[in-house]
Amino acid sequence: MDGIQRGVIMADWQPTACILCECNCGLEVQLEGRRLAKLRGDKRHPISRGYACEKPHRLDHYQNGPHRLTTPLRRTADGGFEEIGWDVAIREVAARLAAVRDTYGGASIFYYGGGGQGNHLPGAYATATRAALGSVFKSSALAQEKTGEFWVADRMLGGQTRADFEHCDVAMFLGKNPWHSHSIARARVTLKEIAQDPARTLIVVDPRRTETAALADIHLQVRPGTDAWLLSAMVALLLAEDRLDHAFLAEADGLDAVRAAFADVDVAACCARAGVDEALVREAVDRIAGARAFASFEDLGVQMSRHSTLVSYLHRLVWLLTGSYGKPGTHYTPTGLVRFASGASGHRSPVVGAPIISGLVPCNVIAEEILTDHPGRYRAMIVEAANPAHSLADGPLMREALGALDTLVVIDVALSETAQLADYVLPAASQLEKAEATFFNFEFPKNAFHLRRRLLEPPPGALPEAEIHARLCEALGAFDDAAVAPLRAAAEKGLPALGAAFMQRVLAHPKLKRYASVLLYRALGPVLPPDLAEGAVLLGLAFRAAMDHGPALARAGFGGPPPMAAMALFQAILDAPSGVVFSESRWEDVRPKTAGGRIQLALEDLLAELGRLAEPDPEDVDFPYVLAAGERRSFTANTIIRDPAWRKRDRDGALRMSPADAARLGVATGDRVRLSTRRGAVVVVVEVSDTMQAGHLALPNGLGLSGRGTEPAGVAPNELTSAADRDPFAGTPHHKYVRARVEVA
């Protein structure tokens, strides 16, 4: 019996999932008391199929680290915290936020977060609390990475896209290192398969010879921040040599405008500016244009660098001009359980007037929207499952802004950098102490959803977010027992009765519909198995999915009228501890969802930007290096695990630098240097790495944490970044392009 170890009886392997990146690979865990003693990939998970990287084996540092909070905290007059009971906490938080709402309006209550890499149910329940408070504006990490891409994708194709790397013959990763950062299912297996097959080509665009680049057939080792030039050259070559898929482009508008805009692009000059050999660029273009199926993924290396929104656009031109859309091995719009992003909303933020894309205020303007005497400023904030004091640009400015709020409420498992600034900290049950899930469901044609079951009781004093939001709504008087009682009675009779009561009593009433998530939790939660109670909201989400994606759900076995399909799907989610395939789409149904149903190739505002690329970069003699502030490495996971002891290697998160720069400065691996930018300065340990090009520096993300449960290790990258350093269209930060200087410490 392999279940008996050191005298402790271990339970069987129990299914759960990894929470350290968006892949959420299925895991199996053996518990030893409350310890996550053994972890392995879960072969029954429909997407990861047993795959897991090295990181989750040390997940116990998340579950049982010294950072865990077990009682609500209230700020004291002397600036410290005191422990308070839940009743007091809920009553006071509700009263404080209601007072802000009543004095300044609900629009002054800002919501940030809602989930990280492993937990999206908090955001679903928070919709009810936000409705009760009249909160209008919100944001999350997506508004510092993906909103530029969302905006472009929405205008060109009417929806977000992902790529099918399993079936492509030419793959490209643009500012993306999936060997470490993953984001695609079973990344290392897929990368090796492409690399080892002589009939397939792997192209990597990255200034650093990353682990992924080392596997590539073609590594376009751009100078940092020059992707706009490289991609302009690629598009210009496709046009000049007529390597276009004309049959495909018959369904697209704007080709002539694109042609005209690229007529003057000087390919040789662009390649020179990007620092890449023109012959290699031509070879890459030749492989892409000649591909049977081309799949490509852009990520932070370009989305957090100069011209990021323009690059998202040029990137799409490369794959649309070659017809790489709507065929196996190319690009598609996933059939999600919830709509993940919705492009432009046309709204603007109240103070700065920044564009709100996919409902999210750009992260880089949040501090500016607080630190002002503008009447529309944010005065209170709820932060849930996010750590903006650490993760947003310009840490010092963010801390000042969070400190200037009338009320800051933080819902977290740890006393994070953000929680340390809060007026109230509400301790959440960990992601193994409640049912939890994410909406990072991007697979195609079969797509899967995984509701993980609770494996451990929360410690006394910590509550699941569902319960926290239900209590806050009740304290705010959002609804009363009379609204819940008939739903509860129906739930006790079974799902069909609840479904009917829910449609009739909640969805048909605009006032109650806003509280649907929490009403479902109150009515259905107690009837569900206790390890699935927080999954109640999924019934409502399944209803929406059934309305939006009937045929795809039916192909996966959830047919019939939407209410029937929704209930069958919900039941299947409850019954599948390792996840369930919920939709099956068809490649022939991958069609642009733009207003006219046609692909829009010409985005005039972005085409106009091309002209600006001819301008020379001013030399920056004071800050001659380019710093990538926030690289993904083997043992980084944003700030989800706070104890540096979890990292087997690179505990202090070294600053990577090229051998040439190290020689010039006279430093070696292990030495300390002073790294400064216009915003700040830190002292950091150096790692000399021949994967770096001269003039380029890289710091890992997620380090430099402070406070209870952590020891000093590494530096916080956003002590060095500036909020003003952002994309002119989407407001996303230039974290990968921070001008810097290095001196021997």
Ligand X SMILES: Nc1nc2c(c(=O)[nH]1)N[C@H]1C(S)=C(S)[C@@H](COP(=O)(O)OP(=O)(O)OC[C@H]3O[C@@H](n4cnc5c(=O)[nH]c(N)nc54)[C@H](O)[C@@H]3O)O[C@H]1N2
Residues that bind ligand X (CB under 6 A): 21, 116, 119, 122, 141, 144-145, 174-177, 180-183, 205-208, 210, 222, 224-225, 227, 299-302, 305, 384-388, 391, 411-414, 416, 428, 430-431, 465, 628-632, 636-640, 701-702, 717-718, 721, 735-736
42 vs 584, which CB is nearer to ligand SF4?
Answer: 42
47 vs 271, which CB is nearer to ligand SF4?
Answer: 47
Instruction: Tell me how far apart the alpha carbons of residues 339 and 356 are, in angstroms, rounded to a whole number.
Output: 17
CB of 76 to ligand X, least distance (A): 22
The tokens for 230 are 């490289």
16 binds, options ligand SF4, ligand X, none, Cβ within 5 to 8 A by partner type: none
296 vs 701, which CB is nearer to ligand X?
Answer: 701
Instruction: Tell me how far apart the alpha carbons of residues 402 and 744 are, in angstroms, rounded to a whole number.
Output: 34
Instruction: Tell me how far apart the alpha carbons of residues 518 and 508 are, in angstroms, rounded to a whole number.
Output: 16
Query: In sequence order, what DSSP letters do the residues of 685-704 get, joined into one string?
Result: EEEE-TTSPTTEEEEESS--
Instruction: Tell me how far apart the alpha carbons of residues 560 and 3 are, in angstroms, rounded to a whole number.
Output: 44
Contact (Cβ atoms closer than 8 angstroms) between residue 333 and residue 447 = no
188 vs 505, which CB is nearer to ligand SF4?
Answer: 188
16 vs 24, which CB is nearer to ligand SF4?
Answer: 24
CB of 353 to ligand X, least distance (A): 24
360 binds, options ligand X, ligand SF4, none, Cβ within 5 to 8 A by partner type: none
Residue 480's contacts (CB-CB under 8 Å, 6 or more residues apart) are none
Q: Where are the beta strands (DSSP E) in 545-689?
A: 580-584, 599-600, 625-631, 655-657, 672-676, 681-688
Instruction: Tell me how far apart the alpha carbons of residues 426 and 21 are, in angstroms, rounded to a whole number.
Output: 24
The tokens for 278 are 């023109």
CB of 431 to ligand X, least distance (A): 4
463 binds, options ligand SF4, ligand X, none, Cβ within 5 to 8 A by partner type: none
CB of 388 to ligand X, least distance (A): 5
23 binds, options ligand SF4, ligand X, none, Cβ within 5 to 8 A by partner type: ligand SF4
578 binds, options ligand SF4, ligand X, none, Cβ within 5 to 8 A by partner type: none
299 binds, options ligand SF4, ligand X, none, Cβ within 5 to 8 A by partner type: ligand X
53 vs 537, which CB is nearer to ligand SF4?
Answer: 53
Instruction: Tell me how far apart the alpha carbons of residues 636 and 95 are, in angstroms, rounded to a whole number.
Output: 39
208 binds, options ligand SF4, ligand X, none, Cβ within 5 to 8 A by partner type: ligand X
Instruction: Tell me how far apart the alpha carbons of residues 35 and 16 are, in angstroms, rounded to a whole number.
Output: 14
24 vs 430, which CB is nearer to ligand X?
Answer: 430
CB of 219 to ligand X, least distance (A): 11
CB of 47 to ligand SF4, least distance (A): 10
Residue 352, amino acid: V
Q: Is residue 444 helix, strand or coil?
A: coil
CB of 22 to ligand SF4, least distance (A): 7
Residue 521, amino acid: Y
64 vs 372, which CB is nearer to ligand SF4?
Answer: 64
Place of tokens 């800051």: 408
| b/e sequence 711-745, b meaning 16+ C-beta within 10 Å | eebbbbbbbbbbbebbbebbbbbbbbbbbbbbeee
189 vs 489, which CB is nearer to ligand SF4?
Answer: 189
350 binds, options ligand X, ligand SF4, none, Cβ within 5 to 8 A by partner type: none
Contact (Cβ atoms closer than 8 angstroms) between residue 169 and residue 201 = yes
CB of 411 to ligand X, least distance (A): 5
CB of 81 to ligand X, least distance (A): 16
The tokens for 108 are 């002054």
471 binds, options ligand X, ligand SF4, none, Cβ within 5 to 8 A by partner type: none
Q: What is the CA angle 324-330-336, rounded to 5?
A: 120
Of the candidates 152, 161, 136, the residue with the CA atom closest to the CA atom of residue 361: 136
467 binds, options ligand X, ligand SF4, none, Cβ within 5 to 8 A by partner type: none
Instruction: Tell me how far apart the alpha carbons of residues 215 and 340 are, in angstroms, rounded to a whole number.
Output: 32
Contact (Cβ atoms closer than 8 angstroms) between residue 9 and residue 171 = no
Q: How far is CA 498 from CA 244, 474, 694, in A?
A: 54, 21, 64
630 binds, options ligand SF4, ligand X, none, Cβ within 5 to 8 A by partner type: ligand X
CB of 52 to ligand SF4, least distance (A): 4
CB of 21 to ligand SF4, least distance (A): 3
676 binds, options ligand SF4, ligand X, none, Cβ within 5 to 8 A by partner type: none
25 binds, options ligand SF4, ligand X, none, Cβ within 5 to 8 A by partner type: ligand SF4
Of the candidates 317, 325, 323, 316, the residue with the CA atom closest to the CA atom of residue 245: 323
Place of tokens 């308070």: 84
CB of 432 to ligand X, least distance (A): 9
CB of 173 to ligand X, least distance (A): 8
Contact (Cβ atoms closer than 8 angstroms) between residue 368 and residue 352 = yes
Q: Kindly report the backbone phi and psi dihedral angles of residue 538, in degrees, each rounded to the nearest multiple of 5, phi listed first.
A: -65, -20
Residues near ligand SF4 (CB under 6 A): 18, 20-21, 23-25, 52-53, 55-56, 182
Residue 691, amino acid: T
Of the candidates 293, 305, 316, 360, the residue with the CA atom closest to the CA atom of residue 160: 316
Of the candidates 345, 333, 282, 349, the residue with the CA atom closest to the CA atom of residue 110: 349
302 vs 610, which CB is nearer to ligand X?
Answer: 302
Instruction: Tell me how far apart the alpha carbons of residues 568 and 234 are, in angstroms, rounded to a whole number.
Output: 48
386 vs 516, which CB is nearer to ligand X?
Answer: 386
56 binds, options ligand X, ligand SF4, none, Cβ within 5 to 8 A by partner type: ligand SF4
298 binds, options ligand X, ligand SF4, none, Cβ within 5 to 8 A by partner type: none
52 vs 654, which CB is nearer to ligand SF4?
Answer: 52
Residue 261, amino acid: A
Contact (Cβ atoms closer than 8 angstroms) between residue 351 and residue 377 = yes
Q: Where are the beta strands (DSSP E) in 334-451?
A: 344-348, 355-357, 380-384, 407-412, 424-427, 446-449
Instruction: Tell me how far apart the alpha carbons of residues 433 and 64 are, in angstroms, rounded to a whole number.
Output: 12
CB of 249 to ligand X, least distance (A): 27
53 vs 90, which CB is nearer to ligand SF4?
Answer: 53
322 vs 636, which CB is nearer to ligand SF4?
Answer: 636
506 vs 641, which CB is nearer to ligand X?
Answer: 641
Contact (Cβ atoms closer than 8 angstroms) between residue 231 and residue 314 = yes
CB of 29 to ligand SF4, least distance (A): 12
